[in-house]
């Protein structure tokens, strides 16, 4: 169930060192623990770090098949409750993406969840397809008339269809082997196709400030990038970076309160609680990367 790495899974260097002692073991994992809105912050796997590319990864790491089977069982109604804020975040991503790719073509969203991003993209004229392991999420997306393949990117068969844009929004940190994912994305893209990656930055100000309580240390996160390792991944998989930004997201005040124990009472004042859900905040934590890169043609 666990794989012990002797080499960096990103650059294959054998110069890897112990990085951080974790608290997690596979028996502690369940669909409940890995849903998007889980709040088990501060929990990690034993982590190793590559001295050559600085990639940080769970070592030993749960097997891909095990992870995918857990995700297929995930149900996360709280994700949908925050749909308004998520849609706003996604529209901003699409706006930036369309500055680089004004013509709407074929868009593939990996880790599509309930299809909020797909739905926003479709409204703007993109031909959309999603990939999502959770059966619960796929059903919700399909009920809205969205095309979503149920399974992992690994299971997704490459046919003749090639995509103009492939998005990996908060996906890579959940996968044992991001290099394999991005290599497959490379194959699925049209020449000069665009990849969008959003993933936490291990060396962000917030990560350093909050230390071991950083909210991206959670059971579902198996690997962590900094600027160097994410650049390395894109170079190794033949991508040229077009735009490198920091990610901010929209959410309601009630969502924030529900994550902070000392604001519990604020949620339970009936006259206030409906107000909190309508107030949208834009949170510029800046602790994730938002990177747009273009597929290079191999020499
Ligand atoms: Zn490495």
* pLDDT attached to residue 28: 77
Residue 11 alpha carbon to ligand 1 centre in Å: 4
* pLDDT attached to residue 242: 97
Q: Where are the alpha helices (DSSP H) in 15-134?
A: 64-72, 77-81, 83-100, 116-123
Residue 170 alpha carbon to ligand 1 centre in Å: 21
d(CA 92, CA 111): 18
Q: Are 129 and 146 in contact (CB under 8 A)?
A: no
Residue with tokens 């502690």: 28
Neighbouring residues of 209: CB distance < 8 A, sequence distance ≥ 6: none
Residue 229 alpha carbon to ligand 1 centre in Å: 7
Residue 117 alpha carbon to ligand 1 centre in Å: 32
Residue 173 alpha carbon to ligand 1 centre in Å: 15
In eight-state DSSP terms, residue 43 is -
Residue 232 alpha carbon to ligand 1 centre in Å: 8
* Burial class, 142, CB count within 10 angstroms (exposed 0-12 / middle 13-18 / buried 19+): middle
pTM confidence score? 0.89
d(CA 76, CA 84): 16
Give the number of other Cβ atoms within 10 Å of residue 7's Cβ: 12
Structural domains of the chain in order of their starting residue, each with its CATH number: 2-248+284-295 (3.40.50.150)
Token digits for 270?
């009936």
d(CA 41, CA 50): 24
Residue 59 alpha carbon to ligand 1 centre in Å: 13
Residue 73 alpha carbon to ligand 1 centre in Å: 32
d(CA 196, CA 147): 20
pLDDT per residue, tens digit, the chain (299 aa), is 889 999 999 999 999 999 999 988 877 778 877 776 666 677 889 999 999 999 999 999 999 888 888 889 989 887 777 788 889 899 999 999 999 999 999 999 999 999 999 999 999 999 999 999 999 999 999 999 999 999 999 999 999 999 999 999 999 999 999 999 999 999 999 999 999 999 999 999 888 888 888 888 988 899 999 999 999 999 999 999 999 999 876 666 666 666 665 555 566 666 666 666 666 666 667 789 999 999 997 64
d(CA 217, CA 95): 29
Residue 230 alpha carbon to ligand 1 centre in Å: 10
Residue 9 alpha carbon to ligand 1 centre in Å: 7
Neighbouring residues of 164: CB distance < 8 A, sequence distance ≥ 6: 101, 103, 105, 106, 107, 189, 190, 193, 194
Residue 52 alpha carbon to ligand 1 centre in Å: 5
* pLDDT attached to residue 37: 67
Q: In what order do the strands lie in the sheet with 106-110?
A: 148-150, 127-132, 106-110, 163-169, 189-200, 288-295, 239-246
Q: Which of 99, 103, 97, 100 is nearest to 117 (CA)?
A: 97
* pLDDT attached to residue 299: 47
Residue 233 alpha carbon to ligand 1 centre in Å: 9
């Amino acid at each position: 169930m666990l794989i012990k790495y002797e080499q960096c899974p990103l650059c294959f260097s054998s110069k890897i060192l112990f990085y951080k002692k974790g608290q997690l073991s596979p028996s502690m994992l369940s669909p409940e623990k890995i849903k998007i809105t889980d709040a088990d912050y501060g929990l990690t796997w034993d982590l190793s770090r590559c001295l050559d590319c600085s990639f940080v990864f769970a070592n030993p790491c749960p097997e891909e098949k095990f992870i995918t089977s857990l995700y297929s069982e995930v149900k996360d109604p709280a994700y949908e409750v925050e749909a308004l804020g998520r849609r706003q975040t996604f529209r901003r991503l699409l706006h930036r993406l369309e500055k680089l790719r004004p013509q709407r073509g074929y868009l593939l969203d990996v880790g599509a969840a309930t299809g909020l991003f797909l739905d926003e993209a479709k409204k703007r004229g993109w031909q959309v397809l999603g990939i999502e392991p959770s059966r619960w999420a796929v059903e919700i997306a399909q009920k809205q008339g969205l095309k979503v393949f149920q399974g992992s990117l690994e299971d997704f068969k490459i046919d003749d269809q090639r995509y103009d844009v492939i998005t990996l929004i908060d996906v890579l940190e959940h996968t044992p082997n991001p290099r394999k994912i991005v290599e497959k994305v490379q194959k699925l893209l049209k020449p000069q196709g665009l990849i969008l990656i959003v993933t936490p930055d291990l060396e962000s100000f917030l990560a350093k400030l909050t230390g071991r309580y950083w909210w991206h240390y959670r059971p579902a996160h198996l690997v962590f990038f900094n600027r160097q390792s994410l650049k390395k991944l894109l170079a190794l998989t033949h991508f040229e970076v077009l735009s490198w930004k920091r990610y901010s997201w929209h959410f309601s005040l009630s969502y924030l309160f529900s994550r902070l124990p000392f604001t519990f009472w604020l949620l339970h004042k009936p006259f206030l609680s409906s107000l909190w859900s309508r107030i949208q905040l834009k949170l510029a934590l800046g602790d994730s990367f938002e990177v747009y890169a273009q597929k290079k043609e191999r020499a």
